[in-house]
Amino acid sequence: MKAIVFDVFGTVVDWRSSLIHQFAELGKELGYELPGEALADQWRQLYAPSMDRVRKGEIPWTNLDDLHRESLVQLLDQHGIVLNEATIDRINPFWHQLTPWPDVQRGLKRLKEDYIIGTLTNGNVSLMVDVARHAELPWDMIFCAELFEHYKPDAEVYLGACRLLRLPPEEVMLCAAHNADLRAARALGMKTAFIPRPTEYGPQQQKDLAAEEAWDFVAEDFIALSEQLGK
């Protein structure tokens, strides 16, 4: 194995707490409280359906930032929250400022000593560059759906990263907190590592609490994964 690619939202960064915090700060500035938890959760719930519209050919290729903005406008309307365009344009990049889980920076630095490390995400390039800079993530490369104009779990994303690395799938491992993502990668010959993030979706999380299959590696966090790999 020569490279490890990582799912980002939920696996590397705590998107939910980050969004809730940013909504709270914006509410203070606006002078009224925004329903930050509901907005964060519902915004994320629209993530997969919005990408499905692209997968099914209902709309042409659209990057995640633009899909997020469409979903945000829909949510604000549902909640009866009236904001001007400039404020909406400030909220949409909340996804660019996400905090990593506590083990991530140290774990990635250790893994980077022996492996190529990069993202394998549905986020677009500019989004991932901003997340990397904000969270101080030491990626060697950003692989994302935008490069291949397909969203995971389409095979083009996983195989596209392997192709650009000039490595066969069996020499590349996907690390993710989501069993479905790992299933798609393993079906294409990639190695797999499961990292549970049991609070990704908040206290009521009901999925991805544990490994559902015998993945190549299962570790409590990135540091533990580095130790399993001999670091």
Element (H, E) at 73: helix 64-78
> 131 and 92: one domain?
no
Same domain, 7 and 22: no
For residue 35, the domain's CATH number is 1.10.150.240
pLDDT in tens, 36-68: 999 999 999 999 999 999 999 999 999 999 999
Same domain, residue pair 203 and 150: yes
pLDDT digits (tens, 9 = 90+) for 149-172: 999 999 999 999 999 999 999 999
123 in the same domain as 61:
no
Is there a single domain that holds both residue 116 and residue 205? yes
Examine the fold and report which residue of 76, 96, 116 is the final residue of a domain before the chain moves on: 96
Domain encompassing residue 51:
15-96
pLDDT-based confidence at 231, cuts 50/70/90?
Answer: low
pLDDT mean over 16-42: 95
